[in-house]
Amino acid sequence: MAPENSLSPGTVDASALGLIPAPRTLTAAAAGPYPLGYRTPLTAGPGTEGVARWLRATLGPPTGLPLPEGDGTGTSVGDGSGRGSTGQGIVLELDDSLAPEGYRLAVEANAVRLTGGTAAGVFRGAQTLRQLLGPDAFRRAPLAPGRTWEVPPVVVEDEPRFGWRGMLLDVCRHFLPKDDVLRYLDLLAAHKLNVFHFHLTDDQGWRIEIKRYPRLTEVGSWRSRTKYGHRASELWDETPYGGFYTQEDIREIVAYAAERHIRVVPEIDIPGHSQAAISAYPELGNTDVVDTTALSVWDTWGVNPNVLAPTDDTLRFFEGVLEEVLELFPAETSPFVHMGGDECPKDQWKESPLAQARIAELGVKDEDGLQSWFIRHFDAWLTARGRRLIGWDEILEGGLAEGAAVSSWRGYGGGIAAAEAGHDVVMCPEQQVYLDHRQDGGPDEPMPIGYVRTLENVYRFEPVPPGLSEEAARHILGTQANVWTEVMQNRARVDYQVFPRLAAFAEVAWSALPAPADRDFAAFDARMRAAHYARLDALGVDYRPPGGPYPRQQRPGILGRPLEGEPPVV
């Protein structure tokens, strides 16, 4: 069903509020608007204390309001300032009759009452409250001290369509410092997204400290130079490049995500995309067919032929890696661990006597079976430790372990096959929601990659493909937008590729929208222009303007790889 944005005539203009993602219902309240003042208390019911801390820390700087702790009766605890009170203030509560991430935000005569099915639901509602206060509520200091802040007279009742609403951030091709990662967690939270897929290892860099294997970061996190543009470009940046997150950094990122009710899915890529690890520990590679001691961290893009050797020593090595990963990413925040499994060329295994002997020993059919052996081993290993393995749709090749889930990236096909076979699926087809793909067909798009995926294209993306059986559709956990950073050297370039399209994606993932052809993109675009671009401005997001890139956002002459026409539906 479509979100209702019906308010009584003459009360509140729903489009002017610009709520994104659109709530299920938005109606006029009998009372209000509700003013917020210096003595307006914030009362946190049992289980909502963390949301209250976030609200004070987030709304305090732009409004200048302390939101003192309330006692539920409209009195600020310990406040003897004598300034005017506004009744019961903001009240946070839990109600287990609501969906876990569902919430109800109601402006009443004496309170703004925010009720959620869980603390996560209250937190999602707090994002709506922040939006209702206007774009200036997204700043870090008051623009006009002493201004009046009001919550419009509305009742919002809302819950998400999907339980998995995610974004992948690749920090291997280009590294983002810890503070930029924390900022992206805030941006995900502001759009009611709840999964952060943290792509931590690849051929071009190993980004997580593993104390047992220090060379993974001493050697594997640095490359001597970097390709500038698409891999066919003749341009290079000759500056040594790299970086990694210490274990303390990782703990901070995970804790920061947990406070925002965001799950973190760490990705440790095997058996392909492993040249950085092999450069640090050459014995991990296929030493009987290539001199792995001569390999360095890869400095260009594409599919790399150097893959892990199918040995017991390799298994033990990555078990050691994962033991530290599981300690850094607790099960409460990270029930899934992504093990990659994509783009693993089998050429070295075909040439390797050791690999061929392993195929015979294991009794598997071929090299695809050897990759399946890798994935099945770690599926069992993770299951024994209370976690679930998820991997790219290539892990279907050679047979998939019973409990494994699939990220369907090459199109819908892998996800359909997995769901029909009873496996859980996250839909993230590259033709639709790879945000490194270009946003326009014009000549000014910087380093244009892939098919044109406009804001409207993303808004019309449907995660559940037509024709999927009802039983299989229940295995669609949700959806995810993927951000691969080969041509995104810094935060500004990431912002440009991600926004504003992530706002459209967030509405697809959260809201109960009609079929793609029936979606009211004009209304969505109006909400973007009425308020949401201004919110992104306040947050300092360097998004692509609706009229095209600014001159500073362009990269003239830097080769990309644009694909023409409509992307195939596969």
**286-325 tens-digit pLDDT:** 999 999 999 999 999 999 999 999 999 999 999 999 999 9
Say whether pLDDT at 85 is over 50.
Answer: no
Distance CA 484, CA 481 (A): 10
Cis preceding linkage at 500, omega within 30: yes
Whether the CB-CB separation of 164 and 426 falls below 8 Å is answered with yes
Is 0.85 surpassed by the pTM of this model?
yes
**367-380 tens-digit pLDDT:** 999 999 999 999 99
| The pLDDT value given to residue 180 | 98
Q: Closest Cα partner for 225 from 237, 207, 235?
A: 237
Distance CA 499, CA 543 (A): 5
In terms of phi and psi (left: phi > 0; alpha: psi -120 to 50; beta: otherwise), the region of 118 is beta
Bridge partners of 113, per DSSP, are 91, 106
Residues with Cβ within 8 Å of residue 402, at least 6 apart in sequence: 379
Q: Closest Cα partner for 196 from 326, 336, 323, 100?
A: 336
Distance CA 325, CA 406 (A): 20
Distance CA 155, CA 112 (A): 10
| The pLDDT value given to residue 72 | 62
| The pLDDT value given to residue 226 | 97
CA atoms within 13 A on the CB side of 278: 28
| The pLDDT value given to residue 81 | 36
pLDDT band at 75 (very low <50, low <70, confident <90, very high): low
Percent of the chain with pLDDT over 70: 95
| The pLDDT value given to residue 15 | 82
The alpha carbon dihedral of 280, 286, 292, 295 has a sign of negative
270-296 burial, b for 16+ CB within 10 Å, e for fewer? bbbbbbbbbbbbeebbbbebbebeebe
Q: Report in angstroms the alpha-carbon separations of 310 from 318, 320, 368, 402, 552.
A: 12, 16, 12, 21, 47
Bridge partners of 154, per DSSP, are 28
Distance CA 219, CA 205 (A): 9
| The pLDDT value given to residue 73 | 59
| The pLDDT value given to residue 444 | 97
Say whether pLDDT at 175 is over 50.
Answer: yes
Whether the CB-CB separation of 397 and 372 falls below 8 Å is answered with yes
| The pLDDT value given to residue 357 | 98
Whether the CB-CB separation of 360 and 253 falls below 8 Å is answered with no
> What average pLDDT does this structure show over 159-165?
98
| The pLDDT value given to residue 14 | 67
Bridge partners of 205, per DSSP, are 202
Look at strands 25-28 and 154-158 and give their pairing. antiparallel
Residues across the chain: 570
Distance CA 343, CA 27 (A): 49
Q: Closest Cα partner for 45 from 65, 68, 70?
A: 70
CA atoms within 13 A on the CB side of 317: 24
CA angle 21-26-28, nearest 5°?
A: 145
Return the number of other C-beta atoms located less than 10 Å from residue 141's C-beta: 9
Residues with Cβ within 8 Å of residue 32, at least 6 apart in sequence: 107, 108, 150, 151, 152, 153, 154
Look at strands 201-202 and 205-206 and give their pairing. antiparallel
Distance CA 101, CA 373 (A): 37
Distance CA 204, CA 207 (A): 10
Residues with Cβ within 8 Å of residue 381, at least 6 apart in sequence: 319, 322
Whether the CB-CB separation of 500 and 536 falls below 8 Å is answered with yes
Whether the CB-CB separation of 555 and 446 falls below 8 Å is answered with yes
Bridge partners of 478, per DSSP, are 164, 426
Positions marked active-site: 202, 273, 343
| The pLDDT value given to residue 398 | 86
Read off φ and ψ for residue 73, nearest 5 degrees: -110, 0
